[in-house]
Structure 1
Amino acid sequence: MKWIGTLFIFILLAVSLWGLQAYRVHETLTSPDKTFEMATGENAQLIAAYVDKGMLAPTWHFAFYNPKTRNIFVTSVKESLWPWPHITLKKQACPTEYNYSSLAIQRTLLKNWRGQAPALLFNGTWYSRDDQKDALSMLTSLRIQNASFGKIGLFYSKNGFWVGLDEIKSCGGDYSFPPAGPGGILVPPELSDKNLPTVIEITWNSPYGSERALVFFNGAIIKAHTTKPLTCPFELRNLTGALRIWREYFEYNPNRMALWVSRPLDTSSKECTNKTTWVIIALRNGDCGNEWWGKLEDT
């Protein structure tokens, strides 16, 4: 019967070591400073942070921008319980045409986190479920007089940042719709449970050719000037039709979703068509998305 006692001691020791390691993981991930030290990158500016719930400790996502390489990247720091409690890091990088330096924040703001999860640090402010705002209302406040648009994109993320993914494969066929991801656009997670986009990209006509801008949920705007004229400009009276389509296809409960409004070229004649179309890509898991398209009436 001695082996039973030995087995009991072994199990007790293993459980004790597992608990000690789990405590270390919890202690690290509940400290914003310790977690940030694991995620920080060279010559990179911190532009956002997101914290979500985990089993033992919070899961952290940090968004960085490198002004020298003009890359935006997201580093995720989270727990893993198999085969032993430990911390894992995952990095996703993507080149961007936008300069995110205006959104750079000091790491000291991480200390203002009050233990809420989910919570988002963006543009110098911590947001929770109760106080995150609506990007669509911010877009309506952006005055673009007598503007002809080239493209409008609405982006949503359920949890964590969405960046990269220049191409999303369709689940219903062997084709894809590039570019179907946000690319170099940082999409913050939507916390308010209203299922609305948190960032909108717009391209509109200007005296110099055209302009591009990102409009975030809190009113922050990043512009990217270009001299390229609009390929197929269109007019849009309001976003009522696009919002109605957005809500209709949200019944699929996607983890990520994007909607584009544009006036496409005719593939045969290479001339601009006389209709404004919309395309929706909705992702549940991975990079495999469901795709729908149609004509937008409010134009």
Structure 2
Amino acid sequence: MAHKEQIKFFFVIPGILWVLIFTIFPLLYSLRLSFFQARLGQDQTFIGMGNFQGAFSDYRFWNSLSITVFFVVVSVSLTVLLGLGLALLFNRPRRGLRFFRSSFVLPIFTAPIALGYLGLTIFHEDVGAVNVALRMLGVVNPPGWFHQVWAARLAITLVDVWQWTSFCFLVLLAGLQNLPEELYEAAQLDTSSGWGIFRHITLPLLAPVLFTVTILRLVETLKVLDIPFSMTSGGPGAATQTYSFYVYLVGLRNFNAGYASALAYILLLIMLFISSFFFNRLRAIYD
């Protein structure tokens, strides 16, 4: 028995070491760096909360944060709403449903940076599929997707929505298929209103799944980097420079590891606050 117990620990140790080396240690070391003026090739100097104070007086911090907030609001809203609509549409026996599920899930497993380069092709000003289609529809001057501020932001948002709508669809469809049929049968005896059934039965029962999908999408979208990096490189100017993009520039382009660590921890605190708010709301509703 003692030998078997030792073997169990032998198989667990690699996972523990992985977490310690690649998760816990970087997390603690970056926390230490956030209190230091630390640049590559220079001595580290303790400055206390100086990096955090500097962030709140940095206009590029506020610019990247505002761009990220816009991106989060639009992308999360569209992915959740489109995913819910598709889940409701396919929450019934349909021919080819299995094939549709399998094909619809493919964008989730595509590398975001590859999707960014694909978006670069699709939204190309001269030969991109989007502008070609717009010209066929009679639009004389289609937008320059990578030269106009809001057009560039919209293009990045649409690529992200295309990738993550399928995730919301699959999770919400699974939630819908686990709802008890008896409630719908009883409700159909009282009313024929599909909207009433959705509002008073489907939506309340599906709320925990909706909360979960929304918080997962919020966290994922707050730290988006790959798509704006590959599609626009943060341009035009800094119009699509998301928060994580700015942290990347500060840390890996300017080699200011201390300030980049402070920015990363500010984002972590924002995520923790949002997650706590959502879970507290959910607990208040169901307790």
TM range (shorter): under 0.3
Which of the two has greater helix per residue?
2
Greater RCO between the two (CA within 8 Å, min separation 6)? 2
State the TM-score, normalizing by the size of structure 1.
Answer: 0.22
State the TM-score, normalizing by the size of structure 2.
Answer: 0.23
The structure number with the bigger radius of gyration is 2
Which of the two has greater strand per residue?
1
